[in-house]
A and B are shown apart, each in its own frame.
Chain A
Amino acid sequence: MNYDLTAEQLMIRNMMRDFADGEVAPEADERDRNKEFPLEIMKKLGKLGMMGLPFEEEYGGAGADTISFAIAVEELSRVCASTGITYSAHISLGGAPLSLFGTKEQKREFLVPICEGTSLGAFGLTEPGAGSDAGGTITKGTRTENGWSITGSKCFITNASYAKFVALTAKTEMTGSSKEITAFIVPTDASGFEVISNYHKMGLHSSNTTELVLDHVEIAEDAVLGKIGEGFKQFLVTLDGGRIGIGAMAVGIAQGAYELALKYAKERMQFGRSLSKFQVIQHKLADMAMEIELARTYVYKAAWLKDQNRKYTTEASICKLYASEMAMRVCSQAVQIHGGWGYMHDYKVERMFRDCKLAEIGEGTSEIQRNIISREIGC
């Protein structure tokens, strides 16, 4: 057993912390107010080789491990959760399915621009009528003479406005099963494909969340990602990895909110003492520190299992569920410690509180995580 990060992981953490403080934090509030996508930051991350972090070197990736990925997401989310989710979705929802299920040709064509950061990664699963129940997908892929025709719509898809192509799921009915789902790689500039970015969100204002509308979008035979009919299985695997990203994002947001609350508690004087001298406040801060530490350790455990090529479905669910609910508690208390000032935008914890809620919803809600854990423990 060894709890130390490796030299590389430590260096990645220090580098990402410097990068987050130097390049991401300064304009985070402004981006949140203006709903401005962190495109320049993504370009800079591309130059640093971060956009292909875990992927094969032959396609321009860096071959780093999942723990390093979790570290990167945490450090970005600590100062700007919108940047954190953009990066996390790019890697774990956008790049990962291509890397896991793509053919050599598909990787050359699609994974390379992901690693370069010239196209952002996006993955379209959720539909207006199919969220937790992703099997209820009604977007349809129909066989044509030279390939496929896709019709349907997807909702809440992260990054698609900045993606040259997205992987998305559709019902195919080739084997006669009504449950058959297949994943396709679809270029976003294909005729009949519309990407609409028009949501008014609670938080994550500078991340890109879109609606995809596909009206008889014609794609080639070789646009199938993985095997026909295995789309459902594939996205379950993809989401396992994505949950580590959301867990890391939640840890990052909580860490950011906790640091601000601790600093504020030491500075703010009431009744002639700083808040941090009141035991009630001390205990709040102690609970925050404890819960963040626990969640981070568990995110690392899930990531480590994945890196060892071991089964990690339960651990991914536990890390995502615990970290996201923990982050909500921490952010709520961070606002509380700031009092009325915490309710104001300038003190940042207000943004973190709003941003944080997504972690309990995206990539499987808390309820769905509990379903998964119950199933895995044999209920």
Chain B
Amino acid sequence: MNILVCLKQTFDTEERITIENGVVVEDGAVFVINPYDEYAVEEGIKLKEEHGGEVTILTVGPERVEASMRKALAMGADKGVWINTEDFDGDLDEHSIAKIIKATIEEQELEFDIILAGAMAVDDGSAQVGPRLAELLNIPHISTITKITVDGGNVVVEKDVEGDMEVIESKLPLLVTAQQGLNEPRYPSLQGIMKAKKKPLEEVEIDDLDIEEEEIEAKTKVLEIYLPPKKDAGKILQGELADQVTELVQLLKSEAKVI
């Protein structure tokens, strides 16, 4: 079974993030595998362990992404294809990334039975790259899955729908995107870490791809980036219940301005 996993590196949202001149400052930020993509990596490795085959990690990004790709290789993926954007000046959005990945799959002649991606990235949270890629490749996709069973060419998937669950049957080839709950990503073993450096990691430049620059030009523009407002300590209302309710309604109107 040939398994492709799309992996994005994001900054760790649990660490301190600083914004200067409208961009997240990279110096000092901690970069990690996008948590949803880590579920995708884990599921890819599990599918390989069950059905045999090979797991290939696909990542678009600058030089720092190598560390995250090596971690996926340390977890048990077999090889990586890295589309280096270090020297690329233009803006890239979800549409560009999906096109670049498709062009890379073609250029590298990567065969696949299944493609796994994270449901969304925790940095810009758009949840588009997976479905867009499926569309470009003309294969079906199921997003936000919490369980997958592959039996021959048949696939049964459990999909999270806003807290409810749908069971969907489909066939390979297929693209799925991982939701929290799909699995518990493993820690890379020490042997895995020591071997990761020796696993093949192919580097591709955007120039190498059969794709025009205009085709991947971003179609969206980020106007502003700002940190969420600081949470103040909560307010606990005192007094009789009826008075508290009146005060609460008052505050919701005047202070929180939500009604």
A interface residues with partner B (beta carbon < 8 Å): 7-8, 10-12, 14-15, 18-19, 22, 47-50, 53, 62-64
Give the contact stretch, choosing among B87-95, B193-201, B202-210: B193-201
Flag if A7 contacts B194 (CB, 8 Å). Answer: no
In the complex, chain B residues whose CB is within 8 Å of the CB of A22 = 187
B197 close to A48 (CB less than 8 A): no
Listed A/B pairs (23) with beta-carbon separation below 8 Å: A7-B67, A7-B70, A8-B193, A8-B196, A10-B67, A11-B67, A11-B71, A11-B188, A12-B190, A12-B193, A15-B188, A15-B193, A18-B187, A19-B187, A48-B187, A48-B190, A49-B190, A49-B191, A53-B190, A62-B190, A62-B194, A63-B194, A64-B194
Query: Cβ of B74 < 8 Å from any Cβ of A?
Result: yes
Task: Assess whether A8 is in contact with B188, with CB atoms less than 8 Å apart.
Answer: no
B194 cross-chain contacts in A, Cβ below 8 A: 8, 62-64
Given A15-B74, A47-B189, 20 more contacts at CB 8 Å?
A7-B67, A8-B193, A11-B67, A11-B71, A11-B74, A11-B188, A11-B196, A14-B71, A15-B193, A19-B187, A22-B187, A48-B189, A48-B190, A49-B190, A49-B192, A50-B190, A62-B190, A62-B191, A62-B194, A64-B194
A49 to B192, CA, bound (A): 9
Bound together, the chains give a CA A15 to CA B187 distance in angstroms of: 6
The residue in chain B whose Cβ has the minimal distance to the Cβ of A18 is: B187
In the assembled complex, which residues on chain B have CB atoms less than 8 Å from the CB atom of A49? 189-192
Question: Which residue of chain B lies nearest to A19 when distances are taken between CB atoms in the complex?
Answer: B187
In Å, the complex CA distance between A53 and B189 comes to 11
Q: How far is the CA of A297 from the CA of B90 in the complex (A)?
A: 41
Q: How far is the CA of A347 from the CA of B131 in the complex (A)?
A: 47
A308 to chain B, nearest CB (A): 19
Q: How far apart sit A113 and B189, CA to CA, in the bound complex (Å)?
A: 18
Find the A residue at minimum CB distance from B73: A11
Q: Interface size bucket, B side? A: 10 to 19
Flag if B187 contacts A64 (CB, 8 Å): no
> A10 to B67, alpha carbons, bound, how many Å?
9
Chain A CB within 10 Å, residue with most, of B190, B196, B197: B190
Contacts of A12 in B (CB 8 A): 190, 193
| Cβ-closest chain B residue relative to A51 | B190
User: 7 smallest A-B Cβ distances: which pairs?
Assistant: A49-B190, A62-B190, A49-B191, A49-B189, A48-B189, A11-B193, A15-B187
B147 to chain A, nearest CB (A): 22
- A-B pair count, CB < 8 Å, reads 41
Q: Which residues of A contact B74 (CB under 8 A)?
A: 11, 15
A63–B67 Cα gap in the complex (Å)?
A: 21
**B180 → chain A closest CB, angstroms:** 15
The listed residue (B187, B189, B197) touching A8 by CB distance below 8 A is: B197
Task: Identify the closest chain B residue to A22 (Cβ).
Answer: B187
Hey, which chain A residues are within 8 Å of B192, CB to CB?
49
Q: Scoring B residues 2 to 35 as 1 if CB is less than 8 Å from chain A, else 0, what string do you get?
A: 0000000000000000000000000000000000
Question: What separation, in Å, do the CA atoms of A64 and B194 have in the docked complex?
Answer: 8
Chain A residues with CB under 8 A of B189: 47-49
**Are B70 and A11 closer than 8 Å at their CB atoms?**
yes
Q: B191 contacts which chain A residues (CB < 8 A)?
A: 49, 62
Shortest distance between the CB of B85 and any CB in chain A (Å): 20
* Shortest Cβ distance from residue B77 to the other chain A in the assembled complex, whole angstroms: 14
CB-nearest residue of chain B to A269? B233
Assembly CA distance A50 to B193 (angstroms): 11
Query: Who on chain A is nearest to B191 by CB?
Result: A49
Which residues of the other chain, B, contact A53 by a CB distance below 8 angstroms?
190
Residue of B nearest to A72 (CB): B190
Tell me the bound Cα distance from A14 to B197 in angstroms.
Answer: 16
In the complex, which residues of chain A have a beta carbon less than 8 angstroms from the beta carbon of B188? Answer: 11, 15
Whether the Cβ atoms of A7 and B197 lie closer than 8 Å is yes
State in angstroms the CA–CA spacing of A47 and B188 once bound together: 10
Nearest CB in chain B: distance from A189 CB, A: 30
Contact flags (1/0) for B59-76 with A, using CB distance below 8 Å? 000000001001100100
A48 and B192 CA atoms in complex are apart in Å by: 9
- A163 smallest CB distance to B (angstroms): 21
- Which among B188, B191, B193, B197 has the highest number of chain A CB atoms within 10 Å? B193
Within the complex, the shortest CB–CB distance from A191 to chain B, in Å, comes to 37
How far apart sit A12 and B70, CA to CA, in the bound complex (Å)? 12
Interface members, chain B 157-205 (any A CB < 8 Å): 187-194, 196-197
Contacts of A18 in B (CB 8 A): 187
Distance (whole angstroms) from the CB of B64 to the closest CB of chain A: 12
CB distance from B163 to the nearest CB of A (A): 25
A-contacting residues, B20-57, CB 8 Å: none
Closest A residue to B193 using CB positions = A11
* Closest beta carbon of chain A to B74's beta carbon, Å: 6
CB distance from A110 to the nearest CB of B (A): 20
Q: CA–CA, A12 to B189, complex, Å?
A: 9
> Chain B residues with Cβ under 8 A from A63's Cβ?
194
B193 partner residues in chain A, CB cutoff 8 A: 8, 11-12, 15
B residues within 8 A CB of A64?
190, 194
Q: How far is the CA of A47 from the CA of B192 in the complex (A)?
A: 12
- Which chain A residues border B197 with CB–CB below 8 Å? 7-8
Q: How far is the CA of A64 from the CA of B191 in the complex (A)?
A: 9
Could you say which residues of chain B place their CB within 8 Å of the CB of A19?
187
Q: Which residues of B contact A15 (CB under 8 A)?
A: 74, 187-188, 193
Minimum C-beta distance from A14 to chain B (A): 7
